[in-house]
């Protein structure tokens, strides 16, 4: 699995911002955006990783999707309870796609793993993906179960060849797990959102 480094993800936020804002200002602005006419995504993430969350939202917003983030939901209970879990289940079902921002902390989180399990039951395999992000130089040994999910990766120009000849265009793709013949299928991220 090719995993985006945390520094690459954080650089994306800097590239997409036309002026400097704090992460909290950026996330507040995101909450106020129009939600109409867009594909809806449940974005599972570790709550204390706001810089990573803001960077992932910046990337996804560029494609023009609506992103649900649970702690920005005004109807979410103030204290974590069974009602929190029920609200999350409802939102996973209501949203078109499920993405796990798969940082090392998120993979260790009981809530993120629970959300992934429920998302798996509701969205597998066409409407679920992990967005793997790692600290520079580390991997996800011990979390090999992530290999069963489609993943979002950046493909660089002239690096991945097609079976029909030539190379994939540069950009973000959703890549399926290898099938029995060892083949993965690549779908441009924008196209995946429209499926």
Q: Mind giving me the DSSP string for 82-101?
A: HHHHHHHHHHHHHSSEEEEE
- Indicate the DSSP class of residue 161: B
Residue 43's pLDDT band (cuts 50, 70, 90): very high
Tokens encoding 6:
């945390």
Q: Which helix (H) or strand (E) holds 119?
A: helix 110-123
pLDDT at 160: 85
pTM of the shown model = 0.84
The percent of residues in the chain predicted with pLDDT above 90, rounded, is 57
Angle between helix 110-123 and 82-94 (nearest 10): 40
From the number of C-beta atoms within 10 Å of its C-beta (0-12, 13-18, 19+), residue 106 rates as buried
pLDDT at 2: 58
Strands, E assignment, the chain: 4-5, 40-44, 66-68, 97-102, 128-134, 151-155, 171-175, 186-188
Please, what's the b/e burial string for 22-46 (b: 16 or more CB within 10 A of its CB; e: otherwise)?
Answer: eeeebbeebeeeeeeebbebbbbbb
Tell me which of 161 and 82 has the higher pLDDT: 82
pLDDT per residue as tens digits for the range 78-129: 999 999 999 999 999 999 999 999 999 999 999 999 999 999 999 999 999 9
pLDDT at 159: 87
Query: Would you say 35 and 171 are in contact if contact means Cβ atoms under 8 Å apart?
Result: no
Average pLDDT, the chain: 86
From the number of C-beta atoms within 10 Å of its C-beta (0-12, 13-18, 19+), residue 10 rates as middle
Tokens encoding 177:
């797990």
Partnered with residue 27 across adjacent β-strands are: none
């Amino acid at each position: 699995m090719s995993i985006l480094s945390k520094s690459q993800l954080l650089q994306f936020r800097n590239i997409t911002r036309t002026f400097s804002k704090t992460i909290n200002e950026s996330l507040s602005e995101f909450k106020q955006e129009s939600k109409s006419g867009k594909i809806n995504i449940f974005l599972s993430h570790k709550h204390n990783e706001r810089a990573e969350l803001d960077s992932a939202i910046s990337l996804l917003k560029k494609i023009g999707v609506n992103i649900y983030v649970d702690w920005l939901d005004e109807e979410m209970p103030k204290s974590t309870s069974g009602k929190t879990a029920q609200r999350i289940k409802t939102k996973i079902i209501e949203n078109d796609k499920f993405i796990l921002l798969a940082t090392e902390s998120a993979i260790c989180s009981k809530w993120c793993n629970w959300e992934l399990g429920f998302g798996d039951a509701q969205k597998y395999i066409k409407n679920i993906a992990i967005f793997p992000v790692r600290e520079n130089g580390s991997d996800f040994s011990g979390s090999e179960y992530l290999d069963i999910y489609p993943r979002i990766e950046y493909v660089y120009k002239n690096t991945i060849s097609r079976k029909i000849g030539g190379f994939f265009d540069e950009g973000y793709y959703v890549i399926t797990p290898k099938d029995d013949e060892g083949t993965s299928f690549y779908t441009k991220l924008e196209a995946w959102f429209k499926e």
